[in-house]
Structure 1
Amino acid sequence: MKRLLTALTVTLGLTLPAAADPSFWGYEWPKTNFDKTTVENWAQILSGGPPKDGIPAIDDPQFMPQGEDTALEPRESVITVALDGQPARAYPLRYLMWHEIVNDRIGDTPVAVTYCPLCNSAIVFDRRIAEGELSFGVSGKLRHSDMVMYDRETESWWQQALGTAIVGDLTGRELTQLPVWMESWSAFRAAHPDGVVMAEPNFPRAYGQNPYRSYDTSHRPFLYSGENPPHGIAPLMRVVRVGDAAWTFDRLREEGQVTENGVTISWEDEQASALDTAAIGQGRAVGAIRVRDGQGRDVAHDVMFAFAFHAFWPDGRWMVK
């Protein structure tokens, strides 16, 4: 783990983490209302190293027909967003790895496509709340190793894994999670011949390279000091979270399909782990799953690491045999 922390520090230009303290962070966040928060222990929030917007969110993503992109490797992971009446869109992890948030608009729906590499959490939110439409940036802060986003309108802080504001004027507000999924680039192309793919952003980044090499086979998560999951589940085991319930990939791989708790989870494909080898498209095979309800409709879910599920849903249900 020490070797991994050193590698991340060098690759991403991280500094030593510092615990969040409103009297300190106020200089960087003068618009944030630190008097409103659901955070009981400020020591849970750490600086991941980069400052506010040091990891730049993408605000004007460009797209191309999926048949025109030749840079992606067949097994690379993409986040698939297929809204009714709109061509399916693929957001490659090779770009989200370096930007973590894409503010986009699909038809009339403003969306935030988010990915936290340290939790493997890929969630797409509707950016509208009762107070209006929001846009999001990367705060540079982590809580339980999960990205803390911020909205540019009020500079409230939002927990990516929860889709909930945890600090600021909008504390307690919740974003609507959309039913999307991760799959291989080849699977997306086969399923969506009319689909489009996000084009490479105009930033000097090593797209296609994994700055977190060997992360998902390490023994401990980065900047995480919480409890390990129960039932002997490895902290960096991938789990499917639906609401407050989680299924391990080990079980899903073995059984192929599970129908429980009102959903059917099916093992559909293999894709390359984006957090394994240096080249994102060359990582070891990890599963791609779909979650559907009784009518066959896709259900909002998250594929995250087990430690993150345990941290944010300490009373959650582990769907073990």
Structure 2
Amino acid sequence: MDTRRLHAFVKIVDIGSLTRAAAILHIAQPALSQQIVALETHFGRQLLVRSKRGVIPTEAGKALYRHAQVMLRQLDQAQIDIENTGTMIAGQVNVGLAPLSTATTLALPLLKAVRERYPGIVLQINENIGGVISEMIMTGKMDLAFIYDPGTIRGVKFEPILTEDLFLVAPKPLLESGNVERGEIAAEDVARLDLVLPTKIHTVRQLVDLTFRRVGVDARVIAEIESVPTIARAVWAGLGATILPWSSANAIASGNDDVAVQRITSPSMQMKVSLCTSDQWPLSEPAQVVNDLLADIAHAYAAEHQADGLKPMGRKERKRKAA
């Protein structure tokens, strides 16, 4: 198997065009087509469907794409490991972090820890919706992630690290004075407010909607926004309230006396945050040390901020569930 063919195949699938892929790879299009024919002959299956709109992988092509992503990454890592034999751990590690969660707060501590202990590791940090990140891990585009745990997903495994409560972040004029003084608010009262929430594909939104259904109320959603800075500006402008974990909620309310952060009760809204990795492919040595560092940093952060609605899992329990 010529790995150049695998690289060309992955590039074609990513771009969706033989012509554009040939230009990027600096290969004549007929030669690139011959490489794909050679792959299809090798596997005995059609891998790409060609049309005027471009190319898309067949089911066999999708399977090869997943494996090729992992194999090419492993080859790159093998080259780095060989070059650094007997010296230090080195390589590139792609880490996903869920937006609207405590995970993003850990990005800087993780960067600092990796830089201090493993200067040969280059981190790539990607913030995206959990579903997108899970797919990237399944296809080998990402090594590991710290995201909200959606439950069982084929192709990935989750190691629960902590849980975090969700809080209401609201302009004080929208709240009754009793709620502001008490520092907490019932879920039923939250549903009566104009809310700016992430879209329904986001795990936070799914928990919010589920909680409201259990209480028997409908949310008054006036806008759906994925960007924390944009949500913050909407709250600051008095357009509505939002629901976020403490780290994001505190960042929005910090230094703004007109914004209140209220713990949601009756019932509370609680999210599980987990480390996500592939259940098919082992982590490279650099990815494994980053995985362990992130777990330790997250656990310590949660232990320090239990008063803010974070709850770390005990190390014994965490290791047992990861097994």
TM-score, normalization: structure 1? 0.25
**Bigger helix share:** 2
Structure index of larger Rg: 2
Structure with greater proportional strand content = 1
Q: TM-score, normalised on structure 2?
A: 0.25
